[in-house]
C-alpha cells in the first residue's frame, strides 16, 4: 500500500501575489531537509504539499520527524494513497487503519471532497467507510463527539487519501522568506532559543561566536557548533563566524574601570557583529537578551549596547521569563547541550559589581580611552568561518 505525507501550509496561505514565492521556498526547504533519506516527488496543490517517496525502503517515520522541524508547516500526516474509485477506498480503509485502530475503542470517519466530480458526497463516503471499518473490527464503536481515532478520507485532485493521525508542525514561515540575519551565539540557554524563534519568522541565519583562548577552551567552541547544528535542523545551514576576542578583553581589563567591563565587551560584540552582518548581506542582529536577566540586560545597559550596533537588533526573548526560555530550549533539544559546563567569553573577567545603570556618555569615554578600534579590525580579520549543517 502506497503511503505518502500530506502537509498543510501555515499562515503563508494568507499572502497575496507573492504566495508562490513562499511556497517555492518551503518546498526547497523540505527538499533540503529530506536529503539523505531517499528520492521524493514533491507536489503542491490547493495549499497542500504531497511528499511522495520514490522507493519502498524509505522510512516515513524519519521523513515525518524532519518535516516536523521545517518552518511554514501547520500540520502534516501520513496517508495512504487510493485511486479515486470508491471501491478502492473502501477496500484499503480497513487495512490501512488497522494499526492506528489496534488500541482504540471508538472512532469516527470524516470526509473531505475537494474534487466535486467524485460522484459520492462527503457524508456518504464517511458512512460507507465507517461501515467497512466496523465490519472489519466489530469490537469498535462509532463516537462522533470524542473518538479515540479520527479517520479522514480526502478526495483531492490527483488521488484520494486515507489518514488517521494529524501531527502539529512547527508553524511559522519558511526560512529565507524574511531575509538573512546574524545571531550572536554564546553557548548558553538563551541565544539558541532566540535563533530558533527568529528563524521561525522566516529569517535565514548566520552566526557570530566570540572566543577568548586560553580563557575559553576548544570544547566551548565545539559546544556552540553542536548548538548551531541542532538549530540548523529548523533553520537550515548556518554560516558560523568565530571571532577571537582575547586581546580586546585583556585590553579592556587593563585600561577600563572594572564595573564597565561587561558593557564595554557587549558593545565590542555589537560592533563586530554589525560589521560581519554588513559584509555578509545580513539585515539585522539577533540576541538572546531578556530584560533584567543580568546586569548587562537592564534597560539602561541594553540602551548602551544598542547604540553600538549599526543594524537593528532583534531580541525575541526580551519579555520572557527564564523558565519560559528553558521550556523552549528543552522542546527544541538545545537545553542539554547548553548546560554543559564550559567557560564562555562573557564569563571571563566578570566584574564583581557591574554597573546596572550605565550612562552612555561615560561608557563611550571609557571606550575611547581603551583605543580598541585597531584591535577590532584585527579581530574581524582573524575571524574563522565554518558552515554548520543539520
CA–CA dist 123, 145 (Å, integer): 16
CA–CA dist 209, 289 (Å, integer): 15
Give the nearer residue to other proteins in terms of CB position, either 251 or 333. 333
Give the nearer residue to other proteins in terms of CB position, either 102 or 381. 102
Give the nearer residue to other proteins in terms of CB position, either 66 or 266. 66
CB of 111 to other proteins, least distance (A): 29
CB of 62 to other proteins, least distance (A): 7
CB of 84 to other proteins, least distance (A): 32
Helix ranges (DSSP H) in the chain: 19-34, 60-67, 86-101, 122-136, 190-200, 218-235, 246-255, 261-280, 299-306, 322-331, 335-338, 360-370, 373-381
Q: Which three cell numbers stand for residue 97?
A: 487503519
In the complex, the residues that contact other proteins under the rule CB under 8 A are: 57, 59, 61-62, 102-103, 217-219, 222, 333, 336
Give the nearer residue to other proteins in terms of CB position, either 103 or 374. 103
CB of 293 to other proteins, least distance (A): 27
CB of 328 to other proteins, least distance (A): 18
Give the nearer residue to other proteins in terms of CB position, either 378 or 389. 389
Cβ pair 300, 259 in contact under 8 A: no
Give the nearer residue to other proteins in terms of CB position, either 252 or 332. 332
CB of 213 to other proteins, least distance (A): 10
* Buried/exposed code over 75-103 (b: 16+ C-beta within 10 A; e: otherwise): ebbbbbbbebebeebbebbbebbeebbee
Q: Which three cell numbers stand for residue 147?
A: 473518538
Give the nearer residue to other proteins in terms of CB position, either 179 or 213. 213
Give the nearer residue to other proteins in terms of CB position, either 62 or 369. 62
Give the nearer residue to other proteins in terms of CB position, either 218 or 278. 218
Q: How far is CA 53 from CA 25, 42, 238, 349, in A?
A: 20, 9, 27, 54
Max Cα–Cα distance, the chain, nearest Å: 85
CB of 164 to other proteins, least distance (A): 16
Cβ within 8 Å of residue 49, ≥6 positions away: 6, 7, 9, 26, 27, 30, 42, 43
Phi/psi at 53 (nearest 5 deg)? -65, 140
CA–CA dist 216, 252 (Å, integer): 17
CB of 16 to other proteins, least distance (A): 41
CA–CA dist 260, 279 (Å, integer): 29
CB of 208 to other proteins, least distance (A): 22
Give the nearer residue to other proteins in terms of CB position, either 26 or 149. 149
CB of 323 to other proteins, least distance (A): 20
Please identify which residue in the block is written with the cell numbers 490501512. Answer: 96
CA–CA dist 315, 287 (Å, integer): 5
Cα 370 to the chain's mean position, in Å? Answer: 39
Amino acid at each position: 500500500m502506497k503511503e505518502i505525507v500530506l502537509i498543510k501550509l501555515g499562515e503563508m496561505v494568507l499572502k497575496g501575489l507573492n504566495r508562490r514565492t513562499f511556497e517555492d521556498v518551503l518546498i526547497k526547504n523540505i527538499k533540503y531537509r529530506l536529503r539523505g533519506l531517499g528520492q521524493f516527488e514533491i507536489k503542491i496543490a490547493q495549499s497542500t504539499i504531497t511528499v511522495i517517496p520514490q522507493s519502498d525502503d524509505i522510512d516515513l517515520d524519519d521523513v515525518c520527524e524532519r518535516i516536523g522541524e521545517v518552518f511554514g508547516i501547520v500540520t502534516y500526516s501520513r496517508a495512504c494513497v487510493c485511486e479515486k474509485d470508491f471501491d478502492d477506498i473502501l477496500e484499503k480503509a480497513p487495512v490501512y487503519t488497522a494499526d492506528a485502530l489496534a488500541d482504540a475503542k471508538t472512532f469516527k470517519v470524516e470526509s473531505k471532497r475537494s474534487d466535486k466530480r467524485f460522484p459520492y458526497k462527503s457524508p456518504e463516503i464517511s458512512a460507507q467507510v465507517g461501515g467497512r471499518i466496523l465490519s472489519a473490527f466489530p469490537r469498535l464503536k462509532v463516537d462522533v463527539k470524542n473518538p479515540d481515532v479520527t479517520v479522514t478520507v480526502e478526495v483531492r485532485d490527483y488521488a484520494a487519501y486515507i489518514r488517521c493521525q494529524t501531527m502539529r508542525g512547527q508553524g511559522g514561515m519558511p526560512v529565507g522568506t524574511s531575509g538573512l540575519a546574524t545571531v550572536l551565539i554564546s553557548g548558553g540557554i538563551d541565544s539558541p532559543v532566540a535563533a530558533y524563534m527568529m528563524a521561525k519568522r522566516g529569517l535565514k541565519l548566520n552566526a557570530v561566536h566570540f572566543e577568548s583562548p586560553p580563557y575559553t577552551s576548544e570544547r566551548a567552541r565545539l559546544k556552540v557548533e553542536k548548538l548551531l547544528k541542532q538549530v540548523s535542523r529548523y533553520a537550515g545551514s548556518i554560516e558560523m563566524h568565530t571571532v577571537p576576542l582575547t586581546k580586546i578583553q585583556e585590553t579592556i581589563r587593563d585600561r577600563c574601570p572594572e564595573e564597565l567591563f561587561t558593557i564595554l565587551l557587549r558593545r565590542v560584540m555589537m560592533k563586530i557583529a554589525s560589521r560581519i552582518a554588513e559584509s555578509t548581506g545580513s539585515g539585522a542582529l539577533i540576541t538572546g537578551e531578556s530584560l533584567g536577566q543580568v546586569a548587562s540586560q537592564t534597560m539602561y545597559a541594553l540602551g548602551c549596547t544598542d547604540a553600538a550596533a549599526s543594524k537593528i537588533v532583534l531580541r525575541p526573548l526580551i519579555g520572557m521569563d527564564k523558565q519560559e526560555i528553558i521550556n523552549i530550549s528543552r522542546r527544541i533539544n538545545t537545553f542539554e547541550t547548553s548546560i554543559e559546563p564550559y567557560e564562555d567569553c562573557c564569563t571571563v573577567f566578570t566584574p564583581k559589581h557591574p554597573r546596572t545603570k550605565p550612562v552612555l556618555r561615560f561608557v563611550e569615554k571609557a571606550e575611547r580611552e581603551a583605543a580598541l578600534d585597531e584591535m577590532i579590525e584585527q579581530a574581524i580579520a582573524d575571524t574563522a568561518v565554518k558552515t554548520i549543517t543539520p
